[in-house]
C-alpha cells in the first residue's frame, strides 16, 4: 500500500520505543497518527516530538488488554483524523527471567492480556472498519524474533508463547484477508534499544497496577545501544509499501530459526516409516 499524506494511523504502545519510532516515521510521510498508550504522558511526548517536526498526532490513553478501551481509542482516532489506513498492534511487555512453573497467576494474566489479547482487541476493533471503508489499509502486528524460536538462556518461554500467538493470529488474518484491500505484516525484531525492561511500570490497574519486576532488568543492558527504534520505524514504513508480510530486522538471527527448522526436519524424518501404511489405507 502506498503511504499517502493525509492518511490516518493508529499505533498502540506509541508512547515509547518501537511504537514511537513507527509513529514518527508515519508522521514524516504526512500521516496523522493516533498515539495510543497506557502511559498517557509518554503518548503526549510522542505527539510533542511529531508536532515539533510539523506533523499531526493525537495522544489517547489506551489499555490494549481492555476491549472497551481499544474501541474508544479507535473511535477517537477516527473522529479526529478519519478512517484508519494503518494500524499497528504494537504495545507489549517483557516477561523474562522466571521459569514457567514459577510465574505468578497475575503475571500470566498480564502478559497474555497485553501481548495476545491486545492484538486480538486491535484486530476485532479495527479490521471491520478497514473493510467497511473500502479504502486500502494495512495492519502491522508486532511479534518478535521470539515468536519464531525460544531463546535457550533467558527464560523467555512465556513471552515467546505470546509472540508465537501474534504470529499465528497474523498468519490467520492474512489468509482471511486474501483478495481484500487490507494488507497484514508481522514485525519480528530482535534487540531494539527501548524501555521494554521497564515494562512493569505499565501494568494496567485492572491487572494489578504498576509493579516491580526486577527479573526484566537485565534486559536493559542487553538492548542498550542496539538497533534504534527510528530504524525500525523506517523499515516498517518501507515494508507496508512493499507489502512485506514478514518484517525481520536482524539478519544475524536467521541462524536461530535455521537451527529450529533443522530440528523439525530431523524429527519429520522419523515420521517417514509411518507414511506408507497411511497412504495405503487412504487408497
Ligand atoms: P517499550 O516499553 O519501550 O514500549 C512499549 C509501550 O507499550 C510502552 O510505552 C508502554 O507504556 C506501552 N504499553 C504497555 N502495556 C500497555 C497496555 N496495556 N496498553 C497500552 N499500551 C501499553 O518497549 P518496545 O520494545 O518498544 O516494545 C514494543 C513492542 O516490540 C512490544 O510488543 C515488544 O514485545 C516488541 N519487541 C521489542 C523488542 C526489543 O528488543 N525492544 C524486540 C522484539 C519485539
Question: What are the tens digits of pLDDT across the range 103-140?
Answer: 999 999 999 999 999 999 999 999 999 999 999 999 99
Same domain, 197 and 138: yes
Q: Measured in Å, how far apart are the chain's first and last C-alpha atoms?
A: 46
- Report CA torsion sign: 231, 183, 39, 220: negative
Same domain, 177 and 233: yes
Displacement of CA 275 from its chain's centroid (Å): 38
Residue 18 CA to residue 194 CA, distance in Å, equals 7
pLDDT confidence of 206, banded at 50, 70, 90? confident
Same domain, 235 and 262: no
Q: Is 264 exposed, middle or buried (0-12, 13-18, 19+ CB in 10 A)?
A: exposed
Strand pairing category for 182-188 and 57-61: unpaired
Range of the domain at 124: 8-249
Type and span of the H or E element at 61:
strand 57-61
Same domain, 203 and 117: yes
Measure 140 CA to ligand 1 centroid, in angstroms.
14
In a domain, 62, yes or no: yes
Measure 142 CA to ligand 1 centroid, in angstroms.
9
In a domain, 277, yes or no: yes
Active site residues: 159
Same domain, 147 and 26: yes
In a domain, 2, yes or no: no
Same domain, 261 and 167: no
Residue 16 CA to residue 122 CA, distance in Å, equals 18
Mean pLDDT of 214-235: 95
Measure 93 CA to ligand 1 centroid, in angstroms.
5
- Report CA torsion sign: 102, 106, 111, 116: positive
Most informative mutation of 66, 202, 221, 227 for ligand 1 (most atoms within 8 A of CB): 202
Tell me 212's DSSP state.
-
**Per-residue pLDDT tens digits for 11-42:** 999 999 999 999 999 999 999 999 999 999 99
Count of domains forming the chain: 2
CB 90 within 8 A of CB 12: yes
Measure 279 CA to ligand 1 centroid, in angstroms.
47
The pTM of this model reads 0.97
Question: Which protein residue has the closest C-alpha to ligand 1 atom 6?
Answer: 13
Same domain, 185 and 275: no
Most informative mutation of 62, 186, 196 for ligand 1 (most atoms within 8 A of CB): 196
In a domain, 3, yes or no: no
Same domain, 258 and 238: no
pLDDT confidence of 241, banded at 50, 70, 90? very high
92 lines ligand 1 (CB under 6 A): yes
In a domain, 68, yes or no: yes
Same domain, 77 and 119: yes
Same domain, 219 and 277: no
185 lines ligand 1 (CB under 6 A): no
Amino acid at each position: 500500500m502506498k503511504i499517502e499524506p493525509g492518511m490516518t494511523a493508529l499505533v498502540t504502545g506509541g508512547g515509547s520505543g518501537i511504537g514511537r519510532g513507527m509513529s514518527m516515521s508515519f508522521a514524516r510521510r504526512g500521516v496523522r497518527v493516533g498515539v495510543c498508550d497506557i502511559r498517557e504522558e509518554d503518548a503526549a511526548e510522542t505527539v510533542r516530538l511529531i508536532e515539533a517536526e510539523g506533523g499531526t498526532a493525537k495522544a489517547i490513553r489506551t489499555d490494549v488488554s481492555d476491549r472497551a478501551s481499544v474501541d474508544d481509542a479507535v473511535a477517537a482516532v477516527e473522529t479526529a483524523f478519519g478512517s484508519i489506513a494503518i494500524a499497528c498492534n504494537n504495545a507489549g511487555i517483557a516477561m523474562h527471567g522466571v521459569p514457567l512453573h514459577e510465574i505468578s497467576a497475575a503475571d500470566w494474566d498480564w502478559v497474555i492480556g497485553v501481548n495476545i489479547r491486545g492484538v486480538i482487541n486491535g484486530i476485532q476493533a479495527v479490521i471491520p472498519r478497514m473493510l467497511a471503508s473500502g479504502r486500502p489499509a494495512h495492519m502491522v502486528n508486532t511479534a518478535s524474533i521470539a515468536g519464531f524460536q525460544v531463546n535457550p538462556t533467558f527464560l523467555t518461554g512465556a513471552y515467546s508463547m505470546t509472540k508465537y500467538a501474534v504470529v499465528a493470529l497474523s498468519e490467520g488474518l492474512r489468509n482471511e484477508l486474501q483478495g481484500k484491500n487490507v494488507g497484514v505484516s508481522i514485525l519480528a525484531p530482535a534487540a531494539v534499544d527501548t524501555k521494554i525492561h521497564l515494562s512493569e511500570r505499565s501494568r494496567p490497574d485492572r491487572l494489578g497496577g504498576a509493579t516491580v519486576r526486577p527479573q526484566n532488568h537485565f534486559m536493559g543492558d542487553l538492548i542498550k545501544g542496539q538497533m534504534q527504534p527510528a530504524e525500525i520505524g523506517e523499515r516498517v514504513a518501507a515494508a507496508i509499501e512493499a507489502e512485506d508480510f514478514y518484517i525481520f530486522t536482524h539478519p544475524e538471527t536467521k541462524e536461530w530459526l535455521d537451527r529450529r527448522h533443522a530440528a523439525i526436519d530431523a524429527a519429520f524424518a522419523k515420521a517417514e516409516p509411518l507414511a506408507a501404511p497411511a497412504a495405503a489405507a487412504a487408497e
